Structure 1
Amino acid sequence: ISRHASSAHKTPHCCESGSRDFGRFDPLLQLETMMKTTVLVAGLLATAQAFVAPMAPGVARQQDLALRMSDPLTNFFRSKRDVAAGDRLVEIKKPLGLILEEDEKGNVYVASITPGGNAARTKKVNVGDQVTMCSATFGDEMWSTRGSGLYSVMNAVKVRQGDSVRLILEGAEGEKKVQKTKKQIEESKKAAEEAQKRRDALLEELEATDEALRAKKPFFGLF
């Protein structure tokens, strides 16, 4: 009986030496499980990456094209061209020191120039100048701003990479000069046509006079 009593009051053991009690938290077991999980995940990632094809050059070009198409000014719907010899190209550091406005057609023009600002320092910007082209977001490309509206131009200047923006400006005097040149060409063409008409009329008159003189002159001939 004493043996049974001592057995009854003996503290029970759930596992023998060398085994763990899974009914309670074991730090060593937790650490071992985490290490095995990490190794397994790393192996799966390496296996998955082995089946991923590298980015082809065409895909890279498409991504670059998508970036360029997201340009707030170009959107690849505006004409791009090189700077012509007669264009007034002005490069202005940011901030520009300009107040821009737009007309009813969406054309952007210079409404005011900040005294002492970066635009004023160039001495190439005048009030009333129309902004006809502007730098793209990056690179040396120039894009048309005709009819693009004030928001697009201001946003293009804002997101432009670098500390300066290139603008092509067209002044009212230049527009008048172009209109005057066209008018002069039309007037010259009209004057040339009228002069030719007068020459033709004079030639017809001379021919008629010559025929009349021949008709009046007596005919002398030998038979």
Structure 2
Amino acid sequence: MPSSRHCIRLTGASAPIAVGKIVCLARNYVAHAQELGNEVPAEPVLFIKPASSLLADGGQIRIPPYSSDCHHEVELALLIGRSGQAISAANAMELVSGYGVALDMTLRDTQNRLKTKGLPWELAKGFDTACPLSDFVPADQVSDPHQLRIQLRVNGELRQDGCSDCMIHRIPQLLSFISQAFTLEPGDIVLTGTPAGVGPVVSGDVLEASIDQVGQLRVSVA
């Protein structure tokens, strides 16, 4: 049986769902790419978090000792409900069974060090507790995933306030692109990128994320 840490819940489902891979999208909002001094990519930029990075609602983020600059990034999460390989954009939404609220916690100092050397980002993105994640709501309860307000507050202060209509790569195109390389399987999670306003968190901070029609997520920093 999978560890309960590696499972999520979909409202209405009879049992927890074991998580497979977590495929993440970088620089999918123009303003966020610009605030970090990155060029806006012509095609999706992908990276993967392990299932061991998951953190449930109410949990504590633990910043690894090799970093002193951990940033928050609030994102709309997709739950994959059926398998798909090399799918077309026209059929891609059939794979989505639910939507959730996620945080892509990022060790910015570590990421910048790795980027300057042309190395992968896993040390900055995949550490334990790097992916706080809410429960999921069924896909049919969200009227339009590209018209959702996305917000994050730290200690009650609004830090991120965006809308999913500002995505560069829309969900059908994103899932089609991913499935050309990785077969998407039931239990996989896709993070769709973060709007502008990312910034640092420190020990004792409380993070509260919300997405219209989807839900809320509250975690703290140890």
TM bin, normalised by shorter chain, reads: under 0.3
Q: Which has the higher contact order (CA 8 A, sep 6+)?
A: 2
Q: TM-score, normalised by structure 1?
A: 0.21
Bigger-Rg structure (1/2): 1
In terms of fraction of residues, the more helix-rich structure is 1
In terms of fraction of residues, the more strand-rich structure is 2
Q: TM-score, normalised by structure 2?
A: 0.21
